[in-house]
Amino acid sequence: MEGQKAKRKRVYSVEPNKVVQAKFTKNYINYLAPALMKIKERRTSIEAKNVESVVKYEVDMAMVFSSQGFAWSNALKTKLQKDGDEGSSRINYQQNEMVPLDFSKKICSKSEANKILVEENIDGDEDEIVDDQLRCLRKLIPGGEEIICDEEMVNELESYVSCLQMQVNILQCLTHQTS
């Protein structure tokens, strides 16, 4: 008995979501704060209209690095990198310069969503209605149109919305601190 080491018991959080939120927040701030400081340092050399797109790029990349492991996160990273290669706006850390960025998001239009809701009242074919609604939801998630399984898509949507909510909370805190 004397030669045996005492086993450490693993302590689990009573609220696992708090741990996930804390990790997301830490990773998000650790990525975004230095990026924003570099933007601030170079702001004089950046056109005013480009600052907004550069900040958007960095905010999106902070989201990617804070939520790794999801299909939507990988798709967003791929899109940002692809857009970056095509002349989008981001900080070129090797050359210390800014490049312009253009984002366009394909989403289910309001008229398309309303059409689905109207058809719901007329048609009554629930399977078709659900498929149409899932198609609209797929368009909201980065890379959502590549997800085949509906259950996986709903899980990805849930994580995406949760991360967006955390992102908004963090950005609101940052803006209140700087105001």
SS (H, E, C) 99-132: EECCCCCCCCCHHHHHHHHHHHHHCCCHHHHHHH
How do residues 44-77 score in pLDDT, each as one tens digit?
766 777 888 888 999 999 999 999 989 999 999 9
**What element of type H or E holds 90?**
strand 89-92
Token pair in block for residue 18: 């708090």
Please report which confidence band the pLDDT of residue 41 belongs to, taking 50, 70 and 90 as the band edges. Answer: confident
Beta bridge partners of 100: 89
Contacts of 164-170 with C-beta under 8 Å, sequence gap 24+, read: 164/63, 166/21, 166/24, 166/25, 166/28, 167/28, 167/59, 167/62, 167/63, 170/25, 170/28, 170/29, 170/32
Helix 150-178 to helix 16-42 angle, to the nearest 10 degrees? 60
Quote the pTM value: 0.69
The 10 Å Cβ neighbour count of residue 62 is: 22
- More reliable by pLDDT, 31 or 43: 31
CA–CA dist 116, 135 (Å, integer)? 11
